[in-house]
Chain A
Amino acid sequence: ETGVTQTPRHLVMGMTNKKSLKCEQHLGHNAMYWYKQSAKKPLELMFVYSLEERVENNSVPSRFSPECPNSSHLFLHLHTLQPEDSALYLCASSRERVNYGYTFGSGTRLTVV
């Protein structure tokens, strides 16, 4: 148990589907992050939330829509994805302004067919 829980662990979806990834932490952290990890590519920071407010959106296509309803939960809503969106999606959390590093979840392995 890492302290950051991601569900589902695996997801297969068609290009016309709508699905959501969920991330939950009860570590008292107040910043949360979505990363995309594709084969043979560096980790890509997608979104940053600090105190439930989105503070960074790294040119992510609009077919990815994040939501942070409170400091413990983070969602990534997916719709009309492309096969190249298949990847491991990692959620992380940290304490704002304190460099203890991130705590990562185990990720959701997404396959778009």
Chain B
Amino acid sequence: AQSVTQLGSHVSVSEGALVLLRCNYSSSVPPYLFWYVQYPNQGLQLLLKYTTGATLVKGINGFEAEFKKSETSFHLTKPSAHMSDAAEYFCAVSEGGATNKLIFGTGTLLAVQP
């Protein structure tokens, strides 16, 4: 069965600093990987996804993630944090198939300090 581990339930960075949110996955088949962001009292919004092809994927709001099969990782990065990036971030894995079932990590709450 697939699973996702997000290291660090809380991450705090200064405005302008690098953002690095870690995600490791477990999957018995080539995975499809996703990052979602959730702002307070909102649903989840898709940031970016990896399905096939280029292992470095770019998403919205300046975020990107790199699929590393050898490390079973899909870490999310952004070169320079903005105050508006403060939110909760979820990594998810899907094995595809008819229902595209997504399995989510426990989330990482990102705080951005001025």
Contact = CB atoms under 8 A, between A and B. Distances in A.
Interface size grouping (class) on chain B: 20 to 34
Interface residues of A, number: 29
Contacts of A109: 41
Nearest to B96: A99
B31 to A, nearest CB: 10
Contacts, number: 67
A101 B104 contact: no
11 contacts: A31-B99, A42-B106, A94-B100, A98-B100, A99-B100, A101-B46, A101-B49, A102-B44, A102-B102, A106-B41, A106-B42
Contacts of B43: 2, 4, 6, 90, 92, 104-107
B74 interface: no
A41 B106 CA distance: 7
B66 to A, nearest CB: 18
Given A99-B49, A99-B94, A55 B102 contact: no
Most central of B100, B105, B106 by chain A CB within 10 Å: B100
A102 B45 contact: no
B13 to A, nearest CB: 22
